[in-house]
């Protein structure tokens, strides 16, 4: 098939490269001219494992190309919309990019071309797209609109696109049997070679599968983080507790790892968008709001815990007039990406900076700038004279056996290590004279501060 993908972000670029690999002829359009120019040379706009090689290979086959403007030809069979839908201040999604794309398509679409929405959008959006096109004279039966939400994860985007957990098609439930079957046949043709469970529903159902999935994942993380505080209070180890809970097949082990909270470009945004959608239709939902509040409290509570541990050590050792200096390992919201959107690491660092702490950070891929923040290109350089180290993103390079702990201790001025991903064996760190602090790990001296923070917020 010949198709046009609009938006060369994590979703559009990965999907386009994989569909080209499957034999389709793909044009990816992005309004960012510099991004397009660089992509034509095979230079990636972000880090995603394996994507540079895949894009270069597909560029060479001639099946993948990049353009700066949407140009629909009569060869185009399908247009896939993959533009961003970032959050507005009030939690609603900003559909500005999507609206501009739809208006552009309204001027260009030709009979039989399918519009497929991959961007995550609120319920009612695909119906609205259809209406907007029809107001411009494009009938639904001529150019069907399909909601096809995306579930790929950054860091494993290629694999997730080649073998998705599921495929969801949301189509207009007013379509009669023959056009509906014809449409489905063309969608099967698009994804020929990709095998996954399939759900066909209406537009709103598909839109809510996406928002509902991300809100549920956020809920799982907030749930285990809330439980980690109870572990702190009772001296249980959250790692054992979550392992035991995850053994229940009705629950499953994923997304039950306690930490500083969820982040990234999707979970926080889709959760607040869902809460906004509920409220705007008069549906009362306290749960979504609480999931977000737990997330915020978690980051604050452990930033406070980290500083308290540092203060305790400093007061017994050195001139406490000296500014507190900490090292933070990890800036990206998770490993194997350079995406820092809504990263817990950034909220954590901003909180420390707001408390007057000097922050020295290192990440293998991600960068971030803020007043008072010093970026390093070596993890040990960030540690020089630090009072504490916080390991916030679990990149493989920060794994227990990858770190030279003797050198860590020697380079730092203090000894506190906040293991915000619970990846370290505390006994091992203690052997080097370090003071480990975890999330929901049984160290009785840490209980009171976390319980107090939780109780007060
Ligand atoms: N990133 C993920 O992990 C992920 C996973 C599943 C779903 N999604 C959803 O997919 C959508 C895209 O996400 P993303 O992370 O790929 O976004 P992104 O911000 O990485 O990329 C969006 C791209 O769209 C381009 N764009 C914006 N307006 C445009 C226009 N008018 N014409 C052409 N190009 C335009 C931007 O320049 C940018 O390159 C969002 O709705 C997101 O919620 C993202």
3-state secondary structure of 373: strand
Ligand 1 geometric centre to CA of 456 (Å): 38
- Write down the pLDDT at residue 448: 46
CB neighbour class for 162 (10 Å; exposed up to 12, middle 13-18, buried from 19): middle
- Write down the pLDDT at residue 21: 98
Residue pLDDT, tens place only, 142-162: 999 999 999 999 999 999 999
CA of 270, closest atom in ligand 1 = 43
Ligand 1 mutation pick, 150, 154, 158, 340, max ligand atoms within 8 A of CB: 150
Instruction: State the number of CA atoms in the 13 A half-sphere of 339 facing the CB.
Output: 20
What kind of architecture, by CATH, is found in domain 2-196?
Answer: 3-Layer(aba) Sandwich (3.40)
- Write down the pLDDT at residue 157: 98
- Between CA 48 and CA 45 the distance in angstroms is 9
Residue pLDDT, tens place only, 388-435: 999 999 999 999 999 999 999 999 999 999 999 999 999 999 999 999
Ligand 1 geometric centre to CA of 85 (Å): 7
Ligand 1 geometric centre to CA of 26 (Å): 17
Please give the model's pTM, rounded to 2 decimal places: 0.94
Fold annotation for 297-456: Rossmann fold (3.40.50)
- Compute φ and ψ for 364, nearest 5 degrees: -60, -25
Ligand 1 geometric centre to CA of 265 (Å): 10
Which residues are annotated as catalytic?
266
pLDDT at 318 over 90: no
- Write down the pLDDT at residue 443: 64
**DSSP one-letter code for 87:** B
CA of 104, closest atom in ligand 1 = 31
Ligand 1 mutation pick, 4, 7, 88, 167, max ligand atoms within 8 A of CB: 7
Ligand 1 geometric centre to CA of 202 (Å): 23
Q: What is the full DSSP assignment across 317-363?
A: HS-TTSPPEEEEE--SSSTT----TT-HHHHHHHHHHHTT-EEEEE-
CA of 153, closest atom in ligand 1 = 3
Residue pLDDT, tens place only, 185-201: 999 999 999 999 999 99
Domain boundaries of the chain, sorted by first residue: 2-196, 212-289, 297-456
pLDDT at 321 over 60: yes
Residue pLDDT, tens place only, 63-121: 999 999 999 999 999 999 999 999 999 999 999 999 999 999 999 999 999 999 999 99
Question: Matching CATH topology for 2-196 and 297-456?
Answer: yes
Band the pLDDT of 457: cuts 50, 70, 90. very low
Residue from 270, 267, 257 nearest 223 by CA: 257
Fold annotation for 212-289: 1.10.1040
> Would the CB of 411 count as within 6 Å of ligand 1?
no
Element (H, E) at 218: helix 203-234
- Write down the pLDDT at residue 444: 45
> Would the CB of 105 count as within 6 Å of ligand 1?
no
% of residues, the chain, pLDDT over 70: 96
CB neighbour class for 134 (10 Å; exposed up to 12, middle 13-18, buried from 19): middle
CA of 120, closest atom in ligand 1 = 41
> Would the CB of 207 count as within 6 Å of ligand 1?
no
Ligand 1 geometric centre to CA of 111 (Å): 26
Ligand 1 geometric centre to CA of 79 (Å): 15
Q: Atom 32 of ligand 1 has which residue's CA nearest to it? A: 31
Average of per-residue pLDDT values in the chain: 95
pLDDT at 454 over 70: no
CA of 269, closest atom in ligand 1 = 43
> Would the CB of 85 count as within 6 Å of ligand 1?
yes
- Residues 202 and 172: beta-carbon distance below 8 Å: yes
Q: Atom 43 of ligand 1 has which residue's CA nearest to it? A: 120
Residue from 325, 330, 390, 386 nearest 358 by CA: 325
> Would the CB of 48 count as within 6 Å of ligand 1?
no
Tell me how crowded residue 194 is: count the other CB atoms within 10 A of its CB. 15
Q: Atom 18 of ligand 1 has which residue's CA nearest to it? A: 9
Residue from 175, 134, 225 nearest 454 by CA: 225
Sheet of 64-67, strand order = 64-67, 25-29, 2-6, 78-81, 114-117, 145-147, 167-171, 198-202
């Amino acid at each position: 098939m010949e198709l046009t993908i609009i938006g060369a972000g994590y979703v559009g670029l990965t999907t386009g490269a994989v569909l080209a690999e499957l034999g389709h002829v793909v044009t990816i359009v992005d309004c960012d001219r510099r991004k397009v120019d660089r992509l034509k040379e095979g230079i990636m706009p972000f880090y995603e494992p394996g994507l540079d090689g895949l894009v270069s290979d597909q560029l060479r086959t001639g099946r993948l190309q990049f353009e700066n403007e949407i140009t629909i030809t009569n060869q185009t069979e399908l247009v896939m919309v993959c533009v961003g839908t970032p959050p507005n201040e009030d939690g609603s999604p900003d559909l500005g990019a999507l609206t501009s794309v739809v208006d552009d398509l309204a001027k260009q679409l030709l009979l039989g071309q399918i519009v497929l929405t991959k961007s995550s959008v609120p319920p009612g959006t695909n119906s609205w797209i259809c209406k907007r096109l029809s107001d411009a004279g494009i009938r639904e039966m001529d150019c069907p609109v399909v909601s096809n939400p995306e579930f790929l994860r950054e860091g494993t985007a290629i694999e997730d696109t080649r073998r998705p957990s599921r495929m969801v098609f949301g189509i207009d439930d007013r379509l009669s049997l023959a056009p509906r079957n014809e449409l489905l046949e063309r969608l099967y043709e698009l994804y020929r070679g990709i095998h996954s469970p399939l759900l066909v529903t209406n537009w709103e159902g598909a839109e809510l599968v996406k928002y509902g999935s991300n809100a549920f994942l956020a809920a799982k993380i907030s749930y285990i983080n809330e439980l980690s505080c109870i572990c702190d209070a009772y001296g249980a180890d959250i790692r054992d507790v979550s392992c035991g809970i995850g053994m229940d097949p009705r629950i499953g082990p994923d997304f039950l790892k306690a930490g500083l909270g969820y982040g990234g470009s999707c979970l926080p945004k889709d959760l607040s968008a869902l809460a906004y959608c509920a409220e705007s239709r008069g549906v009362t939902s306290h749960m979504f709001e609480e999931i977000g509040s737990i997330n915020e409290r978690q980051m604050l509570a452990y930033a406070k815990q980290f500083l308290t541990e540092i203060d305790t050590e400093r007061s017994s050792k050195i001139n406490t007039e000296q500014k507190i200096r900490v090292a933070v390992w990890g800036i990206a919201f998770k490993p194997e990406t350079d995406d820092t959107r809504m990263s817990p690491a950034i909220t954590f660092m901003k909180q420390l900076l707001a408390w007057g702490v000097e922050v020295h950070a290192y990440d293998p891929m991600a960068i971030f700038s803020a007043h008072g923040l010093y970026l390093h290109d070596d993890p040990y350089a960030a540690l020089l004279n630090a009072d504490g180290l916080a390991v916030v993103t679990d990149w493989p390079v920060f794994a227990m056996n990858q770190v030279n702990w003797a050198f860590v201790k020697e380079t730092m001025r203090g000894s506190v290590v906040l293991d915000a991903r619970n990846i370290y064996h505390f006994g091992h760190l203690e052997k080097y004279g370090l003071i480990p602090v975890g999330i929901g790990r049984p160290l009785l001296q840490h209980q009171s501060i976390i319980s107090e923070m939780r109780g007060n917020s």
